[in-house]
Structure 1
């Protein structure tokens, strides 16, 4: 049994994204090294995640949801890093991938990566260009979907091998150095498929309606609330308006991260600038099938 890497997530009934998460990390690390917090103890999660370490928690509506979630994830990571060299933690629609040009899979890469650090892959949001990509997503996402935009908001410090605290949402840690290797990416899949997006948003809107309160009361992301959702098709049609950039050079974006890395006020956390880039790229052919 390998002890190089474990993956941790928390999920509630998101079968589409959980399937992708399980294919990716279960295939790379082995399901016995995947830890799935089943919020609400739903049968869907229990069935799909068989062979993983499933941790069932109550799903009753409650406020301060995200604060409690990250308190739990922080403590899971802290415990697991005593048994694994590296622990990857994040939302179920976020997958860390390695550039195939590196010639290693993610497990092989982490096996020779020094410990006692926090690693921040560059965030890429996979977008479904509904005007150009009619094929449905089946057993793979990258292939039917090739368009991405750089998303600093999802450049998350998510590969942990040292003692640190992760902020709510996973966007910051209390680790004072930025390690952002050129070959690592975090693919955010929220917008990778129009149909899946609508289904997930319906469920999330229902959850926040059941909890009651507003964004401040619940500490849940604004995007979970129906009033902030907008019209689904318009959201996806707007992707066509992003400037298309030739090639796939991510050097300027990582440089911006490194140059702007700094303490986040007096919170003890560290951050970097997170501009809203208006460009899109096509993933090179070598990425087809990575997730």
Structure 2
């Protein structure tokens, strides 16, 4: 029986995150159902992603990079809807995960989910507590890294089975109903490992330097620019100051999403409040080893 679920991403040089993406989606959905846009046609990306559907595109720096990227991803997702029931789309450092307490894998969960909808997992960010987690990441990220913080900015409407348009960055769609299932999470991995963070930020700073325009003239996240970067070690040391919360009850934060869901002005998109929560949680052991 053919899988009814596909995953789509775009990557350039981020091999650490691509390995995690492949381990998660490739193992669960099958590499034949993974679609990777290889920005710049990197040979290492192609080698790692062998067995996936690889779309090579030119890698020339461009000030409208993010607009072009999401225009392409939008059209790929809408095209794949003719062949799959659900498509998971996002950045290579974002992984949609089903709570193991549900007893289902991501494939099993989406296999049973109704179609013609958009699902929005709760965004959580894996943080590297460098004060208490000295070990390097080897086979898995979760386990060696066991702390997370809430990241409403990454509660993205990224599981697509309806005809809709996705905004640049993947943060909003034009689907007018919020479906935020209790068992669904989006793990953002940007801060999961200090050495990998430094390397990734160096690559991003180099890209915008090659483009040669400023923040206001460039359709790329502000965090790609060296002047917005800050001091790397201080960023990670600050994680220890986040207020610890006992347990792992995420229902109040999903309730906030549902209560504030509304039209995003006259754009045709919908959104919800994305407050900053200065708290951290220790991830339950049932999540360890998922990726």
User: Which deviates further from its counterpart, 232-241 or 214-223?
Assistant: 214-223
2:151 corresponding residue in structure 1: 151
Deviation at 1:218, TM superposition (A): 1.8
Contact 2:3-2:29 within 8 A present in 1 as well: no
2:131 corresponding residue in structure 1: 131
Q: What is the root-mean-square deviation in Å for CA atoms of aligned residues?
A: 0.7
Contact 1:128-1:191 within 8 A present in 2 as well: yes
2:188 corresponding residue in structure 1: 188
Normalised to the residue count of structure 1, the TM-score between the two structures is: 0.99
Q: Using the alignment, how far apart are the partners of 1:265 and 1:189 within structure 2?
A: 30
Deviation at 1:3, TM superposition (A): 2.9
Q: Using the alignment, how far apart are the partners of 2:61 and 2:170 within structure 1?
A: 22
Task: From the superposition, tell whether residues 48 and 246 of structure 1 become closer, same or farther in structure 2 (CA, over 3 Å).
Answer: same
Paired residues for 1:161-240 under 5 Å? 161-240=161-240
Return 5+ residue gaps in structure 1 as ranges. none
How many residues are matched?
Answer: 291
Return 5+ residue gaps in structure 2 as ranges. none
Q: Using the alignment, how far apart are the partners of 1:177 and 1:30 within structure 2?
A: 30
1:39 corresponding residue in structure 2: 39
Q: Using the alignment, how far apart are the partners of 2:87 and 2:215 within structure 1?
A: 30
Q: Deviations over 1:29-87 (max 9, x none)?
A: 11010000000111111111111000011011112110000000000000001100100
The answer to whether 1:243 aligns with 2:246 is no
Contact 1:85-1:161 within 8 A present in 2 as well: yes
Contact 1:3-1:83 within 8 A present in 2 as well: no
Normalised to the residue count of structure 2, the TM-score between the two structures is: 0.99
Provide runs of 4+ in structure 1 moved above 2 Å: none
Secondary structure in 2 matching 1:178: coil
Secondary structure in 2 matching 1:217: coil
Deviation at 1:168, TM superposition (A): 0.2
1:50 corresponding residue in structure 2: 50
Q: Deviations over 1:146-199 (max 9, x none)?
A: 100111000000000010000000000000000000000000000000000001
Secondary structure in 1 matching 2:274: coil
Contact 1:66-1:169 within 8 A present in 2 as well: yes
Q: Using the alignment, how far apart are the partners of 1:229 and 1:131 within structure 2?
A: 21
